Chain A
Amino acid sequence: EDKVVQSPLSLVVHEGDTVTLNCSYEVTNFRSLLWYKQEKKAPTFLFMLTSSGIEKKSGRLSSILDKKELFSILNITATQTGDSAVYLCAVSGYALNFGKGTSLLVTP
């Protein structure tokens, strides 16, 4: 059975901190791993990763995939209160399999 596990499930940090969110997976017919940000409404796309070891960056966010160890991390540097959200990891296989998400709260 396909499985996507995110950790931690929740996290509280202060503005300016750096956070690392984890996603491990066991999915047959793996095609890609995606990260989304969800703020009480529709998930919005952050990154798509298909190759191991190639870092994707967008501003203060970055992500990398390890296909040998079957995991990915999402890093957020210099966190801001606007980064508070649920971060979802999804792996594309037979269908899009989501983890339960990491709820991040950034306090001023």
Chain B
Amino acid sequence: NAGVMQNPRHLVRRRGQEARLRCSPMKGHSHVYWYRQLPEEGLKFMVYLQKENIIDESGMPKERFSAEFPKEGPSILRIQQVVRGDSAAYFCASSPPDTYEQYFGPGTRLTVT
């Protein structure tokens, strides 16, 4: 059973560019979560999605950030016009229907230069 997959594992972007982070949940999982982790800090909830629906995006910055989980394909976290403060590890987690246990992918390390 493949676990949660994320790509790319490392992403370097210049200020002002766009970053697209992808997440494929575990087989059978229909819920996807995105988190951001700054160095030496805890995980910060960003958004929770089910297929074709954003359920809770209360942790997403109001501008430049968006997320989707289409009917087909991976979930995408999109950051437009990146700034240095966006540099962080972004983790995706998935969970089976009707449970709260989350299983994490390896993360994408975003560096903004």
A and B form one complex: no
